[in-house]
């Protein structure tokens, strides 16, 4: 029985596939490279248990043979993509998720959704627990992603109620680590790239807003544990170690040894002012909590970016 991973060439999808393949599981990876990376797909192709399908999940899907689980990690997730890929994101979160649900039903597989802390929008309750309904602008610049993911949760839950499909929903909070795109546009990749290039670190909107960053291996562990339960409602997966964006910039400067200055630039519309997961449910249900400190995680990420920048320089 294979495990299907949609979004296999994405940052999180790649890490999940690699972990499964190392455990000896056969994996069918799907990606259309909307935000996925060809070199990550090529790295997965080295494993004999990996089968590749280049496809858009919003188009009719066919997967041969038995399938035990369908993981949906297929959606551009960087805020810089929310406007240029607005309609593609909405299609992915609606028709794409419907196609994957239909596949899971046909194969009698467990369906696992990577939902998001963006379901909470710019939260008025802090930290965020799963029973908070959120504060989302339905027509704002972030809405294709936020509302898309909220719609997907509704669709998945309706599917579960109507057809009895086994579903799991992880609300993933800011994940980072090796394998992120150099031009991903999110805060950690931007700051690391800027620090390595000796350019100013762009603090958007003052830098006093907070995030809680989870190292990718911890997120993958949480997803796998969740997939093995029979809990069908949303579960937060994130690291509650909350920090301001300014502080992250200072940490990255220290760890890279860069002399780059900090530079204030305008903030993004509807940018959440705070974000921190309450992970009591994940602790109780999964016996899970993040193990990698931000310092360790940033060191590994900086190391990855450094070697990748050097490799690309050699190629040029
Ligand atoms: N941010 C920043 N400088 C950057 C990129 C992002 O100050 O170069 C801020 C952004 O405005 C937001 C936070 O960092 O407040 C996290 O942004 P990111 O794009 O990483 O993801 P988000 O949590 O908003 O989905």
The CATH number assigned to the domain holding 37 equals 3.40.50.720
211 CA distance to ligand 1 middle (Å): 9
Does 47 participate in catalysis according to the annotation? no
52 CA distance to ligand 1 middle (Å): 32
Ligand 1 pocket (Cβ < 6 Å) reads 79, 174, 186-187, 190, 202-205, 207, 209, 211, 245, 267-268, 271
The band of 316, judged by pLDDT with boundaries at 50, 70 and 90, is low
Smallest CA separation from ligand 1 atom 4, residue: 187
Domain count, the chain: 1
Residue 266 DSSP one-character state: P
- Is 307 domain-assigned? no
Asked if pLDDT for residue 314 goes beyond 80, the answer is no
CA distance 291 to 304: 19
- Is 202 domain-assigned? no
- Is 183 domain-assigned? no
187 CA distance to ligand 1 middle (Å): 4
- Is 153 domain-assigned? yes
- Is 31 domain-assigned? yes
Catalytic pick among 120, 132, 145, 231: 145
Q: What are phi and psi of 283, to 5 degrees?
A: -60, -45
- State which residues form the domain around 96: 2-175+214-239+276-291
User: Per the confidence metrics, is the pTM higher than 0.75?
Assistant: yes
State pLDDT tens for residues 300-312: 999 999 999 998 8
User: CB neighbours of 180 closer than 8 A, spacing ≥ 6?
Assistant: 11, 186, 188, 189, 301
- Is 58 domain-assigned? yes
State pLDDT tens for residues 199-218: 999 999 999 999 999 999 99
The band of 69, judged by pLDDT with boundaries at 50, 70 and 90, is very high
Q: In terms of Cα–Cα distance, which of 120, 10, 145, 117 is closest to 71?
A: 10
Confirm if 94 and 150 have CB atoms less than 8 A apart.
Answer: no
């Amino acid at each position: 029985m294979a495990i299907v991973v949609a979004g296999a060439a994405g940052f999180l999808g790649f890490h999940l596939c690699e972990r499964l393949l190392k455990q000896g599981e056969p994996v069918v990876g799907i990606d259309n490279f909307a935000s996925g990376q060809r070199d990550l797909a090529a790295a997965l192709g080295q494993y004999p248990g990996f089968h590749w399908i280049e496809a858009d999940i919003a188009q009719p899907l066919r997967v041969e043979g038995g399938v035990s689980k369908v993981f949906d990690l297929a959606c551009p997730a960087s805020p810089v993509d929310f406007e240029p890929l607005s309609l593609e994101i909405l299609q992915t979160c609606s028709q794409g998720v419907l196609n994957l649900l239909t596949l899971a039903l046909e194969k009698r597989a467990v369906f696992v959704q990577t939902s998001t802390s963006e379901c909470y929008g710019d939260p008025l309750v802090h930290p965020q627990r799963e029973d908070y309904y959120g504060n989302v602008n339905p027509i704002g610049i972030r809405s294709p992603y936020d509302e898309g993911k909220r719609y997907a949760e509704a669709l998945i839950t309706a599917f579960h109620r109507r057809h009895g499909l086994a579903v799991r929903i992880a609300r993933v909070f800011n994940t980072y680590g090796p394998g992120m795109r150099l031009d991903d546009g999110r805060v950690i990749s931007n700051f690391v790239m800027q620090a390595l290039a000796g350019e100013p670190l762009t603090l958007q909107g003052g830098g006093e807003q907070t995030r809680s960053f989870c190292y990718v291996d911890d997120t993958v562990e949480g997803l796998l544990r969740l997939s093995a339960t029979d809990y069908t409602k949303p579960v937060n997966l994130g690291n509650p170690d909350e920090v301001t964006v300014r502080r992250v910039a200072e940490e990255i400067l220290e760890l890279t040894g860069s002399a780059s200055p900090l530079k204030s630039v305008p903030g993004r519309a509807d940018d959440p002012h705070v974000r921190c997961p309450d992970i009591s449910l994940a602790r109780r249900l999964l016996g899970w909590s993040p193990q990698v400190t931000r310092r360790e995680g940033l060191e590994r990420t900086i190391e990855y970016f450094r070697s990748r920048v050097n490799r690309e320089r050699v190629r040029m």
